[in-house]
A and B are shown apart, each in its own frame.
Chain A
């Protein structure tokens, strides 16, 4: 081999190393934890999920739990987002709770990133943005990661060829990657795959802390039947009905005479491994799950840029709606912004907590301090999020 070839090959190698460095930097950034505002005086402590399943200690599944304990006996609720790390409104709703909520009776647990590992990667070949950034009114910025619906294979690998998981769901063939999906593996295993252990941690949290109400925030594609649905375990149906009724009455009091587009559905009998079914069946908590509409989740989504995630303006879905193929009411040129979607989550969870005390007075959980629907939609997260320093 002559010198010219060697020189050329060295240049190719250096170019490959440069490419690996640039790509690796971005992937590495996604593995760094998000910074949250923790100066809310009502925050009692930040617990770790490994307190409920010690096998999670030191793993990528050991997520933070924000505890708001009034010290006054009452109801206990768990509100969490980030089961699927790309369902951003649920994450932002949980963050809004952490920064603003105050509890005067009962106890509230909030988990913003339930499947923490899933925040450290995006879906391959999708060219999806990995962060959303909000420029606050004081000029500072807040950044939150956007991940994917499955745990990162860097943290949980290999996927088995077949798994009959604790819920009774058979994972095989095309569904096998769901072994990394938090919402397919409840109630989980104390020692098993990482995501199964996270599920077990959540189950033990619910059992140990006598959680009465569980709210799991999600987002769905426009094609999904259950968009803006509250899905409730059969023991939570009364609670769900009361919450939706109260939410709509509240909306009307605030001048929104159309109310919210919330609907109620009962947890499917064969929704094996999903939180509303498996945690409802295996714990005493009244388990609920809410789905807002996010065009990013759809099969016909546009390029997944930060603007699409935040503004929810999808030319593809506007066209599809114009053709009369879909009619959610939210797929207009005005979009489905993250503030609107998160406000739906906030209203739904807030009214579920309110209904808990109405239907079961001994389980009253009194919360305050949360921004109203109009606050959130009008001011946006730029006006709601608090600066970190």
Chain B
């Protein structure tokens, strides 16, 4: 059960990281791009189970 939750967690974190990545590329202002970049870093590290 815990293993399934862990996989689910990584999938969700990975999808959110992908959304953040797309949002960085589509941002209309520098502030918005930076906002999404700040979200993207921890989401990526979570997906990779590094932090």
Contacts and interface: CB of A to CB of B under 8 A. Distances in A.
Contacts of A9: 24-27, 33
A13 B24 contact: yes
A161 B41 CA distance: 28
B49 interface: yes
Given A20-B44, A23-B41, A154 B30 contact: no
Given A12-B37, A19-B41, A1 B26 contact: yes
A8 interface: yes
A61 to B, nearest CB: 13
Interface residues on B, range: 20 to 34
B4 interface: no
Interface residues of A, number: 21
B37 A31 contact: no
B22 to A, nearest CB: 10
A24 B6 contact: no
Interface in B15-51: 21, 24-28, 30, 33-34, 37-38, 40-41, 44-45, 48-51
A189 interface: no
A158 B2 CA distance: 8
B37 A27 contact: no
A40 to B, nearest CB: 34
B29 to A, nearest CB: 9
A232 B49 CA distance: 39
Given A13-B21, A31-B50, A157-B6, A20 B27 contact: no
Contact of B41 (A6, A16, A28): A16
A28 B51 CA distance: 8
Contacts of B21: 13
Given A23-B41, A157-B9, A158-B5, A12 B50 contact: no
Contacts of B37: 12-13, 15-16, 19
Nearest to A25: B50
A389 interface: no
A1 B28 CA distance: 7
A128 B49 CA distance: 20
27 contacts: A5-B27, A6-B25, A8-B30, A12-B24, A12-B30, A12-B33, A12-B37, A13-B24, A13-B25, A13-B37, A13-B40, A16-B37, A16-B40, A16-B41, A19-B41, A20-B41, A20-B45, A23-B41, A23-B51, A24-B48, A24-B50, A24-B51, A121-B51, A154-B50, A157-B5, A157-B6, A158-B9
In the A-B complex, the 4 residue pairs with the closest CB atoms: A16-B37, A12-B33, A27-B51, A20-B41
Interface of B: 5-6, 9, 21, 24-28, 30, 33-34, 37-38, 40-41, 44-45, 48-51
